[in-house]
Structure 1
Amino acid sequence: MKKLLLALPILLFWACSQKDLVKVEGKIDHADGKVLYFDRLNTTGVEVLDSTTLDEEGRFKFKVENTQPEFYLLRLSNGKLITLLAEANESILVYSKSENMGKNYIVEGSKGSKLVKELNDKLNETKDQLASIRKELEEKKTDPNYSSISQNLLADYVKALQSQREFSINFIMKNATSLSSYMALYQKLDDKTFTLNENDDIKFVKIVASSMKALYPEHDYTKAILSNLADLEKRMVNLKISKLIEEKGSSFPDITLPNAKGKEVTLSSLQGKFIVLSFWASQDANSRKQNANLKKIYDKFNKKGLEIYQVSVDQNEKLWTKAIQEDQLNWTNVCDLKNGSAMATRLYNIQSIPSNYLLDQKGEIVGKNLFGLALEEKIAEYVK
């Protein structure tokens, strides 16, 4: 019993000293003399972990400490590479040939790396299909039947795009708990075209982000996707308001903000009047000039049914109220001083000040960013 008790601390020490490792080994044919790099693929770029110069046999071995799923690259000095997705304590075997390394390889011992290969194989297949169709379109330009030929080829092109999109969606839904789904979200057909590029695709970002937040809350890729999701949600708000503005007969998004006396006033409380929804700032010279023009227009049309609902982006109450007094702004003036009326400006996709929208008596948006004589003439069409 004494010997066992004495041995126990030694065994515990030995167990604690073992580190979570990823081991990657294999063979790259036809790569004699080339340098093979082993990189970690971070959200901010590539980190070189190790390298080796391959001999005639092309054999290699790498290892790295790892406690969570990570993306790695096997990268040859000729630019060819293989992407791996490894978890702690995996021993990964890779075989390929240098001339076609990223497109034709075998990987064993890693479920994540097999999923990555599945993604890349489909993407490469789609890229090859699209390139082939583009080439045929170019070659057939002089054909007398080019019109009908091109229609068929373009139909094939769209079909290939749809097939890739469906594949990406199905892959994410099957593998939402794998970091490979992060990769599926951001795959590109070219420098500008994502495989998932429709507005509604934000729902797949939400699915993957939710899974990663639950499984790997401190992972850099989790932080990256949550940040991206926040940006996409803001963009969707902007797209919705832009679409709303373009659609004839749409009702305007409502705003409720406090005036200079602290009383909340809603934009919709003025409905039935012709409304100039104006965005401005007390320290902006152009805004102040526009105030002078607005005052002339207000004095001319107010008794005929014109109202102004003015939203300030100020965060200094004294400067805001001082400007209201100096410019003699005797219409509705509101501001969220805590954040410069950020919600209202985001809701109406305000990119610069001064800006305005014109809302007619039915609540329809009938104009945007009209100033001076153009503003007065537009108002005169509706207020008589």
Structure 2
Amino acid sequence: MSNYIKTLAVITLAVITLAVLFSCTPKPNTCIIKGQLTGGDGELVIYPYQQVHSKEEADSLSFKTTIVDGKFELELDAEIANRNMYVTQGKNFKRLAFFSEPGIITVSEKDGNLVAEGSKVNDNYQNIMEELDYSTYQNIQYKKQLSPDEKKVKDGFEAKLWKAAKAYPKSIPLTYFFFQKYWGADVTTLKKVLNTFSKDIHNSYYLNDLNERYKTELKTAVGQPAPEFNLTSLDGEEISISKYKGKYLLIDFWASWCGPCRKAIPGVKEVYEEYHTKGLEIVNISTDAEKKAWLKAVEQEQMPWTQVRDTNGVSEKYNVTAIPHILLISPEGKILAKQMHGAEKIREALKEAGLQ
């Protein structure tokens, strides 16, 4: 009987040990974020690293959990990517930018700030930020009036980036900073970025995205066939590139909230009045997420040409990284000009294309 009890005790201890081991081991392809903070109960939200197009999409890709007595644990996917964590405890609010990766990351507080520990990728991220003096650069990036020291930091940031890339060609956190800086770059710069980093990390999130942009930029270069699309106009008409075969077509990507887009509309109206009878058509493609905002702006602006809203990724097909983004398409459906800012630039492109 005593042997039975001993055996049972050993088995029970083994089961408990295994349970503890498995409870501390994250599932494959997951990232566990855990921590013990001061400040008591609250809420923690980790927002998407992906590009999102609406609040609903952002909410669906976010991770949330409650904080009880300062303690929390949250499981998320293990994509090696930069994420923003927001912690709210009563009236106290704290933010942490960190890199997720497979395994366990512990969040703690040092000098009143949140820090991520137990992660090689985050250690590299912190080292890169210090080397780039990124916090200073981030604070002055959009500042109009700069002190001599601030101007030196801003002017020298790109040189620091490229120097770091040569020193750390396998650093995934460094690719994040290149992504932030060169996401909307031209095809030559994108190729240079991709060639600078080791092919061992070309499948990482940020380089993969830049590579896709590079390939799309090649497809939408001047002289290439304009990517086909199908969108429905306000009048219920199916709009496509092929519909305008035999006509010169101006495609204007814009949005209701874009000040420069709306400021440019009077000039585009002048071009339309001047060239419409000579064979020019215009299609405005709105990138508005909210249909109501788009409809209101269309009503206010009274543009006498076709209006559609991008509901199936046309902006991505055309590598639109900023608006207004205006292209001129030939009667044969080829891209003749891009990035024409202002009515005079559009006129120049039309005259060069032979439309007098």
Q: TM-score, normalised by structure 2?
A: 0.46
User: Looking at both structures, which has the greater relative contact order when contacts are Cα pairs under 8 Å and sequence separation is at least 6?
Assistant: 2
Q: TM-score, normalised by structure 1?
A: 0.43
